[in-house]
Structure 1
Amino acid sequence: MLNFLLPQNGSLSKLMIENGVYDFKSAIAYVHQLPYGRTSDRSAYRLIIPEQKGTCSTKHAFLKQLAVESQQETVQLFIGIYQMNESNTKGVGTILKQHQLEYIPEAHTYLKINGKVLDVTRASTNTTSFQNCILAEEEILPHQIATHKVDVHQNFLKQWISEKQISYSFEEIWKIREECIAALSASLPH
């Protein structure tokens, strides 16, 4: 696992150092233990520290920016669209079954370090990794976690509905997806 000391002069590094975290490996552990939850501003990834919670987007964007401050270019931030189902995302199966869907394409944000996926938000209880179900992925920058991620996800869903001749409208699929996210959130520790 890549590790390096955090610089004294970076704004995110200073936040970490104030919390007794001095290197990247310890920062990963610190961010990993934060409860899952949306911050008050989904694009302001630095809020994961004062608000003590984060999503896949905010947690991974924070770590990516921490690596940028440390001039570590081998840490990359990605959006992946994967086939979300019960086997790789515990808690969504009941909702999908109610709507007779095998899966819904879901956007997930994660890191790659030297080409290896690092995900600080996934539970280890899943029987299948989301990595085995990726339909598309794109490298992004931390500031792209809000609007750009939603645009990529929604455009993918619209194309998927059309290509797979899904019997639901985009609005209906988005509502079902939100039900899945609510069920997933309810199953996670807070």
Structure 2
Amino acid sequence: MNLDFPITADLPLSIAIRELGISNWKTLVSYIQKLPYGRNKNRQDLSLVLKENKGSCSSKHAFLKAVAQENKQDAVTLILAIYKMNGENTGIGSVIETTGLSYIPEAHCYLKIENERIDITSSSAAFDNLKEAILSEIEITPDQVTTFKVAYHQEFLKNWIEEIQLNKTFEEVWETRESCIQYLSSQSNLNFI
């Protein structure tokens, strides 16, 4: 990632970052990437990434996009992708094998900076692990990681279930997906997300 800029905006997230002693984008990205993976208590409050010292793919990337916006950096875009979550690209093999599914379409957020995709979900995350499994990508705003992301993902799953004529209900697939996410959240080394 070649982009770097000073974090100088007198706006809430930028002020909170400077209070931690972080003054530039590259240092911030590194800091956020090292935070543990975990869902925040309130998806709408991006400051919880710092306050709770953790974040998901959605909250970490939305937080960074919001900081870029505060500092008038339009080169940073937030991407919502649907990809084929499977045992190879996420390590959920033992969880998904019991369902008879080879993959589940999963929503994932990352940044796109000057046509380069950046995934900082964990210290070992890399977009290359997912690029061949991407089913769709759209650009979103930080506030869309809340209800829009969930609705978009659920609609995609419902259409997928119908399209492939899966002999499972949406509720069954969503429950399997939640089991996969819980499993991933319990792992100390998230190599793929």
Contact kept, 8 Å, 1:61 with 1:77, in 2: the verdict is yes
- Match in the other structure for 1:138: 138
* TM-score normalised according to structure 1 size: 0.94
Question: What percent identity do the matched residue pairs reach?
Answer: 43
SS in structure 1 opposite 2:89? coil
Divergent runs of 4+, >4 A: none
Give the number of equivalent residue pairs: 188
Q: Cα offset for 1:189?
A: 5.0
Q: Cα offset for 1:124?
A: 3.3
- Aligned pairs for 1:5-84 (under 5 A) are 5-84=6-85
Q: Which amino acid aligns with 1:26?
A: T
Q: Cα offset for 1:107?
A: 0.2
- Match in the other structure for 2:169: 169
Identify if the C-alpha distance between structure 1 residues 152 and 189 changes in structure 2 by more than 3 Å, giving closer, same or farther.
same
Contact kept, 8 Å, 1:67 with 1:73, in 2: the verdict is yes
> Do residues 85 (structure 1) and 74 (structure 2) align?
no
Q: Cα offset for 1:137?
A: 1.1
Q: Which amino acid aligns with 1:109?
A: C
2:151 and 2:45 map into 1 onto residues whose CA distance is 18
- Match in the other structure for 2:111: 111
SS in structure 1 opposite 2:66? helix
2:30 and 2:123 map into 1 onto residues whose CA distance is 14
Aligned alpha-carbon RMSD (Å)? 1.6
Q: Which runs of 5+ in 1 are unaligned?
A: none
Q: Which amino acid aligns with 1:81?
A: I
> Do residues 121 (structure 1) and 116 (structure 2) align?
no
Q: Which amino acid aligns with 2:161?
A: I
Contact kept, 8 Å, 1:35 with 1:54, in 2: the verdict is yes
Contact kept, 8 Å, 1:35 with 1:189, in 2: the verdict is no
2:36 and 2:122 map into 1 onto residues whose CA distance is 11
* TM-score normalised according to structure 2 size: 0.93
